[in-house]
Chains A and B, each alone.
Chain A
Amino acid sequence: MTMIEKTHFRQPLGRSPFHPRIALLSQSEEWTSWNGYMAPRVVAKLSTEYFAVRSGCSVMDLTPMEKYRISGSDARPFLDRLVTRDISGLAAGRVTYVIWCNDEGKLIDDGTLFQLGQNDYRLCSQHHQLDWLRTSAIGFDVQVEVETQQVAALAVQGPTACSVLAEAGFDDLQALQPFRFQQSACSGLPVMVSRTGYTGDLGYELWMKPNDALPVWDAIFAVQGRYDIHAIGLSALEMVRIEAGFVMPGFDFNTAESTIRAGYDRSPYEVGLGWAVSLDKGQFTGRRALLAESARPAKRRLMKIVVEGNKPVGASFIYDRRNGRQVGEIKCAAWSPILKANLALADIEFDNGRLPRELWARIDYQRELKWHSAWARCHVSEKPFYQPGHRGLTPPNRY
């Protein structure tokens, strides 16, 4: 066990190994806490950072993301029982998106699951999961260790990401397919590279030892002259993940283990993640409850909606018509510069298992500090709002 230094209170937020570089680039000094780490909301300028993701190359420090190493002879059965999804296709070198529920079939968190080797896995999640993983480990020969601090991680995302990494000296990544990873190297330093991300664009996530963090960062930024590369913060990520239609546990819905009020937690079906539930794969925690839920008419769902007009959509209620019955609320929203549209995820109550025929948002907004109210029609989008064709190409486009 590592002792906490007696000076820890002077620095309540942890510093990622990349922090020295981000601090140098930071112009806006907009810092926030992400899992106890000091993380930038914006490094320099939000619009620059957003467009780095969409038309250049963005670099984001992912170290604060919770990382767990799962090993032992029962690691696979343990994971099979943990996650709702059929992971029989997962093999060494592959990554998959997974979600997990409590016994009542309510969502606890989501994450990406890497199979590093035989009986050796890494699970990355949004929130602390050690307690849940240890609870789930009862009856299995499995070890669960936190490796958040032991692994430095960087997301390199954007249409030119592959070219940037090649230029920065990374071993050949051309053939790396989405949801695969490989051991690579940069300036002689070992880096695991996965073709994964949270932006809906072409992108990679780099996993390395904390000591190698700064040399790898420097190698990438060394090619900044040839490519448009920007360090980005959580605000730009929020815009692009909404465009990509990704949900964020704890923000778009309350996670089960942190819910106090009855009915405030959500099932995978209720947040549009039913596709990640395989009821026929055999037992997993929450299966019985989800089986029962799937047989009932849907009560509610988190929907991707486009809100007409350009009024800033904040925390708004949704109605079934202008001045009608309140049927839901917006959980997160962003103005999409690339789509020129107001995008939102909204929690909407169904009527007898059906989506209300019309959806209207009542938007309260300020003009020079004076509040106004406006009605805006909402249109449901079943697909991700933004899904560029280049994101899935192997090999990716060269720039």
Chain B
Amino acid sequence: MWADTLLILFISVCTALLGEGLTWLMVYRTEKYQKLKSEVERQSKRLEKRKEAHGDSLDKQQKRKIEREEEKLKQNNRDLSLVKMKSMFAIGFAFTALLSMFNNIFDGRVVARLPFLPISWIQGLSHRNLPGDDYYDCSFIFLYILCTMSIRQNTQKILGFAPSRTASKQGGIFGAPPQAFK
């Protein structure tokens, strides 16, 4: 059982690296993406500074300036997510196929023993396609998701691909409306 557990950890490290590698190939290295990213970062920082300086003032001119910059940032964020979108879809499809392949390989196999009893709505995932009703048994998909959750984000951060905090705070990666400044 432990060999399976470690194998899944290894698989998720590989898929995380592969995913980031493919995204780099299709998105991160393109000039358009890099230009947009640095633009968004620059605008976010400028907007934050401006808000810090004039956030509480009732000066209409400043408010209008802030609004205008927010609008620009939103537009750039939208463009950035559009650049990412196409390749994300392609990678998503490839990984869904890969996941279903692994799912078939580990079908019905207990890959780990959980040291806690998962709550009922997680049991469907942690006990997926497993025989018996010992809910301490862990299925492939549950462990894989957990591994991916931790490894993927850390890999992105180490490689410097994670979106900066200022950018996500100001506009959100999918162009969500900027948060109201406190």
A, B bound: no
Residues of A whose CB lies within 8 Å of any CB of B are none
Residues of B whose CB lies within 8 Å of any CB of A are none
